[in-house]
Structure 1
Amino acid sequence: MRKRWSVAVVAALLGSLAVVAPAQAAPGQAVARCVFTPTPEDPAAKPVRPPRPLAKARGTVEVTISTNYGPVELELDRANAPCAVHNLVSLARQRFFDRTQCWRLTNSARLGVLQCGDIHAAEKGGPGYKFDDEVTGEETYRRGTVAMGNFGPNTNGSQFFIVHSFANIKPAYTVLGRVTKGMRVLDRIVANGIIPGPADPLDGAPAKPVRILKVR
């Protein structure tokens, strides 16, 4: 006997299918589907759950990073980087960034950024998973830009950086959003200097430690 479907049931089924969006949301889409791949070779530095696969792809979200230098307020753009913003918000809600440090500061003619999000040291201590880049190839990194750090293509995790001057780098880093208040905090961090790194005296740890008290 053939099963007959009502118009309401068919509409409901089609509606549920429509929610599933591609990895990067097309313009105007409300959601994006994200893939967070476990990295057993690089386990989580703190107990944390990967975000759910569906991310909002419209609007902005306000985030405040409270540091020992003062607060830095961010506006993150869900439409531009739905999965990256979804991930950072998830980690913040799980207190992943609380009581951590920003381990890297650069101030060269090519790169001027403060790098945060690593738990143990610069580029060491992620969330135990990775996800793909959300880039167009036309990204620029002006003063105040907030972007994801990575170890190569499609290796995003918890690492992010804030541009305190400018960053003349290739457009390979997902842009999360921008600083709306607190650039003077970054200026004070830079003014305190850098502990010279082994490869570049203008690329190393902040001379006065930069501690993240909480991210909300």
Structure 2
Amino acid sequence: MASSRDRQRKLARAKLDRQMARRAAAARRQRRIRAGVGAAVALALIVLGSVWALGGFDRKPPADTAADVCDWTPVRADTNPNVKDVGEPPTKDLPTSGSRPMTITTNQGAPVTVQLDLATAPCAGASFSYLAGKSFFDNTKCHEITTEGAVRCGDPGGTGQGGPSYSFPSENTPSAPTPEPSPSASSAPAQPPLYPAGTVALVGNPPGSNGSQFLIFFKDFNPTSPQYPIVGKVTAGLDVVQRIGGLETVDNGTGAKVKPKTDVVIQSLTVGEPATATPTPAAPPPATTSPTPSNPPSTAAKS
């Protein structure tokens, strides 16, 4: 009987030892898991802290690869009741070289064609193209023949105060002429006018705040303080502009006798696609002529 009880005790002891061993192994596994999780969390905190310290969580606007070419300033109707709301032209991906053709058809004869210079006045070219696409100039009047020798157009209301719902700064205003030297024995050549006949320029109200109004000069103008930015030149129809410039004028309501007595109506104004400047081909090298050979000696057999 004693041996049977001893055997049972030994079996129970062995079973308890096995249970204790399994429990110890499980405890060791849990400690290892907790240690691994703690290390992973600590490492994650270190990484996140480093990223935060370096500004990795700062919200950044998406990179914009295209730079603004033009800056349009909104003009609200509550500050100028003569403004016509047409939105604003695009600011990016605008041509900055070459030219655009502009055609002005009036009730005074053949169309007047203009070459807009995109290299010196890209924003003016973009503005004309944008407004022409919205028929902004169609069926409007050229409301003034200026004392400076230009026809003034581009205000839908014909008051000189109107324009689109945006403005933009001047781009290509000529520099003031240099003072003439004192008379001498050898006279200096005359300087060309700042605004030769056929020049197309913007007129801002106030100056430097340009919209849709423009001037077409029908005679040379050479001011001491130029303020009109040049946007292009007439390529055909200058005679039509000069004929308009010779029309009789009447009081425009302000005491200035500058309004054409005969209505000058822009029936349509269109702007074509940009044209890139074509490089002038290099002149071919001059042809080389071979020297004329002297008479060769006679090869006839002597008799």
The 4+ residue runs of structure 1 with deviation greater than 3 A are 43-47, 196-201
Q: Tell me, which stretches of 5 or more residues in structure 1 are unaligned?
A: 3-12, 22-32
Is 1:162 the equivalent of 2:209? no
Describe how 1:170-181 pairs up with structure 2 within 5 A.
170-181=225-236
Q: What is the percentage of aligned positions where both structures have the same residue?
A: 35
Alpha-carbon contact 1:148-1:156 (below 8 Å) kept: yes
Whose radius of gyration is greater, 1 or 2?
A: 2
Q: Which amino acid aligns with 1:60?
A: S
State the alpha-carbon separation in 2 of the partners of residues 43 and 78 from structure 1. 31
State the alpha-carbon separation in 1 of the partners of residues 195 and 86 from structure 2. 29
Shift of 1:45: 3.9
Instruction: Indicate the residue corresponding to 2:9 in structure 1.
Output: none
TM-score (norm 1): 0.79
Residue in structure 2 matching 1:34, options 70, 75, 80 = 70
Secondary structure, counterpart of 1:114 in structure 2: strand
- Structure richer in helix, relative to its length: 2
Alpha-carbon contact 2:173-2:228 (below 8 Å) kept: no
State the alpha-carbon separation in 2 of the partners of residues 76 and 113 from structure 1. 17
Q: Which amino acid aligns with 1:51?
A: P
Shift of 1:100: 0.4
Is 1:88 the equivalent of 2:124? no
Shift of 1:168: 2.9
- Structure richer in strand, relative to its length: 1
State the alpha-carbon separation in 2 of the partners of residues 212 and 73 from structure 1. 13
Residue in structure 1 matching 2:87, options 39, 49, 58 = 49
Shift of 1:136: 5.2
State the alpha-carbon separation in 2 of the partners of residues 36 and 43 from structure 1. 19
State the alpha-carbon separation in 2 of the partners of residues 174 and 46 from structure 1. 22
Residue in structure 2 matching 1:213, options 249, 267, 288 = 267
Instruction: Indicate the residue corresponding to 2:153 in structure 1.
Output: 116
Alpha-carbon contact 1:133-1:155 (below 8 Å) kept: yes
Residue in structure 2 matching 1:62, options 101, 113, 138 = 101
Alpha-carbon contact 1:189-1:208 (below 8 Å) kept: no
Alpha-carbon contact 2:82-2:157 (below 8 Å) kept: no
Aligned length, in residue pairs: 188
State the alpha-carbon separation in 2 of the partners of residues 136 and 72 from structure 1. 23
Instruction: Indicate the residue corresponding to 1:77 in structure 2.
Output: 117
Q: Tell me, which stretches of 5 or more residues in structure 2 are unaligned?
A: 1-46, 52-61, 177-193, 271-303
Alpha-carbon contact 1:39-1:130 (below 8 Å) kept: yes
Secondary structure, counterpart of 1:178 in structure 2: strand
Residue-by-residue CA offset, 1:146-181 (whole Å, 9 max, x unaligned):
000112343101111100112233332211100000
Alpha-carbon contact 1:132-1:153 (below 8 Å) kept: no
Q: Which amino acid aligns with 2:203?
A: G
Alpha-carbon contact 1:68-1:211 (below 8 Å) kept: yes
Instruction: Indicate the residue corresponding to 2:239 in structure 1.
Output: 184
